[in-house]
């Protein structure tokens, strides 16, 4: 019985990770939620827009996004450019910086 519960918990964690990184926008929302700052939930629920970022530099194969939220006072909304890189069939988000 205890072994089944442990396997169920492990399976649930793996499934949550895979679903949370299955698309670029979900990967970005997962990254924003994992930051655990005071406005994570507000950022996760805000609009995410793909942009044409000119300075690709060291990220030539990445897609770039902005988190749009006019009501948020978070410094991560409206100012930061986020990159999303594909590895295998999963997407992983990272911060580029202020754009």
| Domain boundaries along the sequence of the chain | 2-98
- Give the model's confidence band at 32: pLDDT under 50 very low, under 70 low, under 90 confident, else very high: confident
User: What is the C-alpha radius of gyration for the chain, rounded to an integer number of angstroms?
Assistant: 16
Give the CA dihedral 43, 26, 86, 18, nearest 10 degrees.
130
Angle at 80 between CA 77 and CA 85, to 5 degrees: 115
Question: Tokens 């990184």 identify what position?
Answer: 21
pLDDT for residue 75: 62
Residue 30 has pLDDT above 70, yes or no: yes
Residue among 81, 64, 67, 78 at smallest CA distance from 33:
67
pLDDT for residue 10: 96
Tens digits of residue pLDDT in 51-81: 777 666 677 777 777 777 666 666 666 667 7
């Amino acid at each position: 019985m205890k072994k089944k519960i442990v396997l169920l918990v492990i399976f649930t964690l793996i499934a949550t990770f895979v679903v949370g990184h299955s698309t670029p926008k979900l990967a970005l929302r997962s990254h924003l939620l994992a930051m655990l700052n005071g406005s994570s939930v507000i950022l996760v629920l805000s609009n995410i827009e793909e942009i044409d970022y000119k300075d690709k530099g060291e990220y030539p194969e990445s897609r770039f996004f902005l988190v749009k939220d006019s009501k948020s006072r978070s410094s991560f909304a409206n100012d930061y450019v986020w990159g999303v890189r594909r590895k295998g069939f999963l997407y992983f988000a990272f911060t580029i910086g202020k754009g």
